[in-house]
């Protein structure tokens, strides 16, 4: 990492401390927790973009899939709904699988016109058959106390398991996308990932039986104690007295510290694995492929297979981070997945931090998230200062103040363009 | 009679909307494919270019309406189109000068252009929201229908009406005119021929004295015009909301790839393939079956409209699996 990197990390810690002193300590730790998750997301994108030069425009989709794992693993099962429609859903999935198998077999066995015809007929027949089982099942599930549940629920396991399951979900989706679009022009992966991420979000928003859709799932079990319980703990009351802080703040900080510990552990594991991978023969091969695909292929490397491998690995990391995010929020809100926040912000983190360098990606995650959160107070303050010469009720002043929120979009675009052009190697350049 | 009713029903909800949407996608995909042919990258900022051009058209339309100018039965927006085109030409040329030109001289890989175009997309997006805001804007005026459903019923005595909106008629006419003009330009004029040459083989074109800066400039100008017109037609037909122009990017890309990136004929074909598949797959066939003499329960809909962009994605995947070069491969321009 070197002195420069260490210095930058130190500055980052000081900035977080500053927020603690100037604004409040619970806020500082909220930012820290999201910085840690952002760093993991950023590592995931760095594995794809930094190691292999693969452009993932659908980061959001993989994060959301990971987030869904949070529900599937940890929510208690809704027994009534499972009895009402669980079998139907399973049967529909089975029909879909059989249809896919039949299409595959038909595509292999037949040729020419007949193949097109057979595939179309099987697809349409399969779709109608599956829907005829699926629709009543969904209706039955969604009818079960729809104001409170109306979905299948989950497995009722501790939520920490979802971090692994989320990684597996995301890796599975990535494998399918990669299988289709890798090995073709680089643009195709970008467009395919853009498409799959939008479809994943659409599914999460509309399939109420799975995720309750836009009704959101709240009250997801936590891996750490609740603030209310901690507020009665004698040692915390004692601490609060000694530091002169309110017990509410101390309890909130304590909970956030628990999360921070968990997240830091994951971050360190992912970072350690990434560093090991990058400096192994495998990592050197990946970079060789990135820098000159033709030469690497001539040396006997299977470029497409390696790309698929690295794409799946990176997406798995994204899925893990997505599950962690749901864990931290304690709720799953499909509508909150926006490309700006979950795809492009992560890219800016990687590019600002230094693509190809794991420490750079981590630093980028911290720095960019910090300014993303603090940009609003800073921006509002700036706008207020700049327009202070105008009259209090001036229409221009009002428009500018109201539009300050849209400045984020422009700022992200401008940062991306400026860094890409003037400092393409980022804060901590690749060695 | 029943068959005619079924046909009218299909015409009203499937064929007319399909043609209109196909035209809009085709114009959008032409812009993508032109930039791909000349600059060799997928321009993610294209949707926002459409939105920007449309925004200027809307602002000028409001100005014209305020001055009492109107085109009678036609929407005033048609008068405002030249202003929108001029504004987006200026915007794209400025963007090229300050963003893409640098990477051209560096001979960067397409991926770098792609990332830059996403940065540009955000700049435009912010700019649009800053100026006109994120909300829905209505700017269509003039008469709403060419044929009303009721008139059609009276004319033919059928139970099902067939309505054609003015905007749908305009979309078709404008697209036909524009496509003819574009193909005439590409195949007959000197500038168009030099573009085709440049797209086919850059080095050979440079050797024969074609000025690359000029070719790139013309490509951006054409793209700006196509994007503004496509965006305005889409906005007139549905309504203008900055967010929808972000969503339309996926079907447009799918159209361009299905037809074969870099091939204008392909872009048009791809636009119609995507549009008709999308409309046909999300259409509920229950009433059609009813007229054909089969009473069925359920909507007989393959996919709910919530997933309509999954259709373009599915087609994209199929094309990538079966024929990655698209329907009209090898024919660049």
Nearest by CB to A192, from B111, B302, B316: name it: B316
- To the nearest whole Å, the CA of A348 is away from the closest chain B CA by 10
Query: Do the domain assignments include residue B138?
Result: yes
**B161, B12 Cβ separation under 8 angstroms:** yes
**A410, B126 Cβ separation under 8 angstroms:** yes
* Closest to B75 (Cα-Cα) out of B149, B146, B179: B146
Separation in Å, CA B206 to CA A75, B199, B275, B331: 64, 11, 38, 20
The residue with tokens 């997945």 is A337
Dump pLDDT digits (tens) for B45-93: 999 999 999 999 999 999 998 888 888 788 888 889 999 999 999 999 9
Separation in Å, CA B207 to CA A4, A323, B38, B198, B212: 48, 56, 16, 10, 11
Measured between alpha carbons, how far is B303 from B295 in angstroms, rounded to an integer? 20
Structure-token pair, residue A159: 């939520």
pLDDT of residue A393: 67
> Looking at chain B from residue 261 to 290, which residues have their Cβ under 8 Å from any Cβ of chain A?
261
- To the nearest whole Å, the CA of B47 is away from the closest chain A CA by 14
Host domain of residue B11: 2-250
Query: Do the domain assignments include residue B302?
Result: no
Contact A188 B257 (CB under 8 A): yes
Please give the helix or strand (H or E) that residue B64 lies within, else none.
Answer: helix B46-67
- B9: Cα separation from own chain's centroid: 25
Residue in chain B nearest A193 by alpha carbon? B313
Strands B164-165 and A331-332: unpaired
Count how many pairs of residues, chain A against chain B, have C-beta atoms within 8 Å: 128
**A47, A274 Cβ separation under 8 angstroms:** yes
Q: Which residue has better confidence, B289 or A59?
A: A59
**A426, A42 Cβ separation under 8 angstroms:** no
- To the nearest whole Å, the CA of A186 is away from the closest chain B CA by 7
Measured between alpha carbons, how far is A23 from B124 in angstroms, rounded to an integer? 34
Contact A416 B304 (CB under 8 A): no
CATH number at residue B23: 1.10.3470
Query: Do the domain assignments include residue B299?
Result: no
Quote the radius of gyration of chain A (alpha carbons, Å). 24
- To the nearest whole Å, the CA of B26 is away from the closest chain A CA by 18
Can you give the residue ranges of every domain in chain A? 2-77+153-422, 78-152
Question: A414 contacts in B (CB within 8 Å)?
Answer: 119, 123
Contact A409 B122 (CB under 8 A): yes
Which of B43, B119, B313 should we substitute to test contact with A (largest number of A Cβ atoms within 10 Å)? B119
In degrees to the nearest 10, what's the CA dihedral of B46, B51, B53, B57? 160
Contact A420 B115 (CB under 8 A): yes
Contact A195 B312 (CB under 8 A): yes
The residue with tokens 């030249």 is B82
Please give the helix or strand (H or E) that residue A206 lies within, else none.
Answer: helix A186-206
Burial classification of residue A129, based on how many CB atoms lie within 10 Å of its CB (0-12 exposed, 13-18 middle, 19 or more buried): middle
Separation in Å, CA B309 to CA A15, A38, A200, B85: 43, 29, 11, 28
The answer to whether B243 contacts chain A (CB < 8 Å) is no
Measured between alpha carbons, how far is A196 from A75 in angstroms, rounded to an integer? 26
Which of A124, A187, A401 should we substitute to test contact with B (largest number of B Cβ atoms within 10 Å)? A187
Please give the helix or strand (H or E) that residue B80 lies within, else none.
Answer: helix B77-95
Nearest by CB to A206, from B123, B249, B306: name it: B306
Which of B98, B104, B130 should we substitute to test contact with A (largest number of A Cβ atoms within 10 Å)? B130
Contact A198 B298 (CB under 8 A): no
Confidence tier at B333 by pLDDT (50, 70, 90): very low
At B273, give phi and psi (nearest 5°).
-60, -50
- A315: Cα separation from own chain's centroid: 9
Residue B107 is classified by DSSP as T
Separation in Å, CA B297 to CA A126, A360, B2, B287, B294: 18, 59, 19, 10, 10
Dump pLDDT digits (tens) for B218-260: 999 999 999 999 999 999 888 888 888 888 888 999 999 898 8
The answer to whether B309 contacts chain A (CB < 8 Å) is yes
Q: How many domains does chain B have?
A: 1
Residue A184 is classified by DSSP as S
Separation in Å, CA B170 to CA A131, B165, B236: 39, 9, 10
**A155, A72 Cβ separation under 8 angstroms:** yes
3-state secondary structure of A115: helix
Contact A195 B111 (CB under 8 A): no
pLDDT at B330 over 70: no
3-state secondary structure of B304: coil
Separation in Å, CA A77 to CA A119, A155, A213: 38, 6, 17
Which of A383, A413, A422, A424 should we substitute to test contact with B (largest number of B Cβ atoms within 10 Å)? A413
Question: B254 contacts in A (CB within 8 Å)?
Answer: 191, 195
The answer to whether B129 contacts chain A (CB < 8 Å) is yes
pLDDT of residue A263: 95
Measured between alpha carbons, how far is A230 from A237 in angstroms, rounded to an integer? 9
CATH number of A2-77+153-422: 1.10.3470
Residue in chain A nearest B255 by alpha carbon? A191
At B284, give phi and psi (nearest 5°).
-90, 115
**A63, A201 Cβ separation under 8 angstroms:** no
> Looking at chain B from residue 43 to 82, which residues have their Cβ under 8 Å from any Cβ of chain A?
44
Longest alpha-carbon distance in chain B: 68
Longest alpha-carbon distance in chain A: 82
Nearest by CB to A420, from B119, B309, B310: name it: B119
Residue B159 is classified by DSSP as S
3-state secondary structure of A217: strand
Separation in Å, CA B193 to CA B177, B217, B218, B227: 20, 15, 12, 22
Nearest by CB to B122, from A53, A124, A410: name it: A410
Show the CA angle centred on residue B260, arms to residues B255 and B261, nearest 5°.
Answer: 85
Nearest by CB to B122, from A53, A194, A413: name it: A413
Residue in chain A nearest B300 by alpha carbon? A128
Query: Do the domain assignments include residue B52?
Result: yes
Contact B122 A412 (CB under 8 A): yes
Dihedral of CA A29/A32/A34/A37: which sign? negative
Measured between alpha carbons, how far is B150 from B160 in angstroms, rounded to an integer? 9
Contact B307 A406 (CB under 8 A): no
Structure-token pair, residue A422: 């003037």
pLDDT at B2 over 90: no
pLDDT (tens, 9 = 90+) of chain A, 431 residues, equals 678 888 999 999 999 999 888 888 888 999 999 999 999 999 999 999 989 889 898 999 999 999 999 888 988 888 888 888 888 888 999 999 999 999 888 888 877 788 888 888 888 888 888 888 888 888 888 888 777 777 887 888 888 999 999 999 999 999 998 988 887 777 888 888 988 898 899 889 888 888 888 888 888 888 888 888 888 888 888 888 888 778 888 888 889 999 999 999 999 999 999 999 989 999 999 989 988 888 988 888 888 999 999 999 999 999 999 999 999 998 899 888 988 889 888 998 999 998 889 999 999 999 999 988 887 777 777 777 777 777 666 777 777 766 666 777 788 888 889 988 888 888 888 87
3-state secondary structure of B145: strand
pLDDT at B156 over 50: yes
Contact B320 A347 (CB under 8 A): no
Query: Do the domain assignments include residue B215?
Result: yes
- To the nearest whole Å, the CA of B163 is away from the closest chain A CA by 30
- To the nearest whole Å, the CA of B110 is away from the closest chain A CA by 8
**B36, B114 Cβ separation under 8 angstroms:** no
H helices within A75-216, ranges in order? 79-81, 87-109, 112-143, 160-181, 186-206, 208-211
- To the nearest whole Å, the CA of A406 is away from the closest chain B CA by 6
pLDDT of residue A405: 66
- Beta-bridge partners for A332: A217
Question: A198 contacts in B (CB within 8 Å)?
Answer: 247, 250, 309, 313
Measured between alpha carbons, how far is B106 from B99 in angstroms, rounded to an integer? 12
Measured between alpha carbons, how far is B319 from B270 in angstroms, rounded to an integer? 11
* Closest to A40 (Cα-Cα) out of A56, A63, A17, A19: A63
- Helix count and strand count (H, E) for chain B: 16, 2
Burial classification of residue B1, based on how many CB atoms lie within 10 Å of its CB (0-12 exposed, 13-18 middle, 19 or more buried): exposed
Separation in Å, CA B140 to CA B13, B71, B149, B236: 21, 12, 20, 5
pLDDT of residue B98: 92
Question: B39 contacts in A (CB within 8 Å)?
Answer: none
Measured between alpha carbons, how far is A116 from A101 in angstroms, rounded to an integer? 15
Separation in Å, CA B102 to CA A63, A418, B96, B105, B116: 34, 12, 9, 5, 11
The answer to whether B111 contacts chain A (CB < 8 Å) is yes
Measured between alpha carbons, how far is A390 from A218 in angstroms, rounded to an integer? 45
Residue B169 is classified by DSSP as H
Question: B109 contacts in A (CB within 8 Å)?
Answer: 53, 186
The answer to whether B227 contacts chain A (CB < 8 Å) is no
């Amino acid at each position: 990492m070197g002195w420069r990197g260490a210095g930058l990390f130190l500055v980052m810690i000081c900035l977080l401390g500053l927020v603690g002193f100037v604004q409040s300590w619970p806020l500082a730790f909220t930012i820290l927790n999201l910085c840690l998750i952002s760093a993991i997301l950023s590592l995931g994108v760095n594995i794809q973009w930094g190691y292999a030069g693969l452009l993932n425009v659908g980061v959001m989709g993989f994060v959301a899939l990971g987030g869904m794992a949070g529900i599937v693993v940890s929510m208690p099962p809704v027994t009534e709904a499972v009895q009402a429609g669980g079998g139907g859903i399973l049967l529909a999935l089975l029909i879909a699988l059989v249809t896919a198998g039949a299409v595959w077999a038909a595509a292999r066995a037949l040729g020419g016109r007949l193949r097109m015809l057979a595939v179309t007929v099987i697809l349409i027949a399969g779709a109608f058959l599956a829907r005829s089982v699926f629709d009543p099942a969904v209706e039955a599930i969604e009818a079960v106390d729809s104001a409170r549940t109306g979905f299948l629920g989950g497995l009722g396991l501790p939520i920490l398991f979802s971090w692994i399951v989320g990684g597996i979900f995301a890796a599975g989706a990535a494998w399918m996308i990669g299988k289709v679009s890798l090995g073709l022009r680089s643009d195709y992966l970008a467009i395919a990932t853009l498409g799959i991420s939008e479809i994943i979000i659409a599914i999460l928003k509309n399939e109420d039986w799975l995720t309750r859709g836009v009704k959101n799932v709240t009250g997801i079990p936590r891996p750490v104690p609740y603030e209310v319980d901690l507020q009665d703990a004698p040692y915390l009351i004692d601490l609060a007295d000694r530091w002169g802080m309110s017990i509410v703040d101390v309890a909130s900080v304590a909970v956030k510290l628990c999360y921070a510990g968990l997240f830091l552990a994951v971050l360190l594991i992912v970072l350690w694995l990434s560093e090991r991978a990058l400096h192994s023969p495998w990592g050197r091969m990946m970079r060789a492929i990135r820098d000159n695909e033709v030469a690497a292929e001539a040396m006997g490397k299977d470029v497409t297979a390696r790309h698929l491998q690295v794409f799946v690995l990176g997406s798995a990391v994204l899925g893990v981070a997505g599950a962690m995010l749901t864990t931290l929020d304690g709720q799953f809100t499909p509508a909150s997945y926006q490309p700006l926040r979950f795809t492009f912000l992560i890219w800016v983190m990687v590019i600002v931090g230094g693509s190809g360098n794991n420490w750079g990606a981590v630093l980028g995650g911290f720095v960019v998230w910090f300014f993303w959160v603090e940009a609003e107070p800073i921006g509002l303050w700036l706008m207020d200062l700049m327009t202070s010469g105008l009259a209090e009720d001036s229409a221009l002043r009002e428009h500018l103040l109201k539009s300050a929120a849209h400045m984020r979009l422009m700022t992200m675009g401008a940062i991306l363009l400026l860094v890409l052009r003037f400092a393409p190697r980022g804060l901590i350049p690749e060695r | 009679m029943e068959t005619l009713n079924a046909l009218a029903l299909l015409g009203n909800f499937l064929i007319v909307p399909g043609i209109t949407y196909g035209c809009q996608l085709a114009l959008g995909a032409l812009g993508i494919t032109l930039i791909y042919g000349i600059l060799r990258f997928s321009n993610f900022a294209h949707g926002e270019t459409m939105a920007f051009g449309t925004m200027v058209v809307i602002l000028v339309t409001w100005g014209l309406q305020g001055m009492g100018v109107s085109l009678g039965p036609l929407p005033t927006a048609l008068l405002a189109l030249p202003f929108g085109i001029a504004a987006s030409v200026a915007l794209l040329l400025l963007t090229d000068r300050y963003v893409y030109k640098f990477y051209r001289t560096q001979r960067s890989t397409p991926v770098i252009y792609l990332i830059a175009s996403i940065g540009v997309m955000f700049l435009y997006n912010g700019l649009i929201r800053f100026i006109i805001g994120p909300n829905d804007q209505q700017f269509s005026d003039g008469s709403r229908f060419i044929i009303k459903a009721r008139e059609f019923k009276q004319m033919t005595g059928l139970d099902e009406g067939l309505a054609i909106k003015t905007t749908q008629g305009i979309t078709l006419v404008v697209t036909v005119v524009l496509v003819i003009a574009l193909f005439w330009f590409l195949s007959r004029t000197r500038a168009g021929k030099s573009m085709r040459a440049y797209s086919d083989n850059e080095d050979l074109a440079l050797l024969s004295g074609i000025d690359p800066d000029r070719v790139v400039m013309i490509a951006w100008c054409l793209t700006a015009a196509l994007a503004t017109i496509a965006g305005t037609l889409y906005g007139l037909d549905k309504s203008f909301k900055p967010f929808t122009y972000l969503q339309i990017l996926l079907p447009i890309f799918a159209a361009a790839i299905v037809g074969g990136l870099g091939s204008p004929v392909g872009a048009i074909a791809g636009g119609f393939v995507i549009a008709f598949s999308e409309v046909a797959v999300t259409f509920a066939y229950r009433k059609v079956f009813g007229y054909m003499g089969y009473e069925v329960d359920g909507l007989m809909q393959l996919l709910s409209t919530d997933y309509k962009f999954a259709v373009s994605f599915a087609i994209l995947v199929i094309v990538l699996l079966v024929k990655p070069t698209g329907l009209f491969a090898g024919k660049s321009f």
